[in-house]
Amino acid sequence: MKNILLVEDDLFLNDITTKKLSSAGFSVVAVKSTDAAAQKLKEEAVDLVLLDLELPGQPGNEYLLELKSDAETKHLPVIMFSNNDDPNIASFCIQSGAAAFYIKIETDIDDLIGKIHEILD
């Protein structure tokens, strides 16, 4: 079973995304901040990070840069998942190493799950 680290501060989205990913056969660890994500990455193996852009404290795009500059996590695929539809931010994230950038309100969760399968299979 593939392990996904979901970094999402919105409790409703956190819950619904966790349920959908779990029902698709993934093991999901959900956290609400990049600090909690960093701690989880030290504690357990993760196959993919699903990362919100707008988080309390450190923004997701800054955390993406940290993940991609760290020898231990640079290999981890990261999918950005945000309501920010600024094409410049999406482009920045992709150029910084994100595997994909999805806009929450425009994304069918099944499309996201398909992309996760594509990346991990």
pLDDT in tens, the chain (121 residues): 999 999 999 999 999 999 999 999 999 999 999 999 999 999 999 999 999 999 988 999 999 999 999 999 999 999 999 988 889 999 999 999 999 999 998 989 999 999 999 999 8
Strand ranges in the chain using DSSP code E only, listed in sequence order: 3-7, 27-31, 48-51, 78-82, 100-103
Query: pLDDT value at position 85?
Result: 87
**Buried/exposed code over 73-105 (b: 16+ C-beta within 10 A; e: otherwise):** eeebbbbbbbebeeeebbebbeebebbbbbebe
Domain residues of the chain, as ranges? Answer: 3-120
Taking the C-alpha atoms of residue 18 and residue 12, their distance in angstroms, rounded to an integer, is 10
Residues contacting residue 119 through CB under 8 Å, at least 6 positions apart: 48, 77, 79, 99, 100
Query: pLDDT value at position 67?
Result: 97
Query: pLDDT value at position 56?
Result: 87
CATH 3.40.50.2300 fits 3-120, yes or no: yes
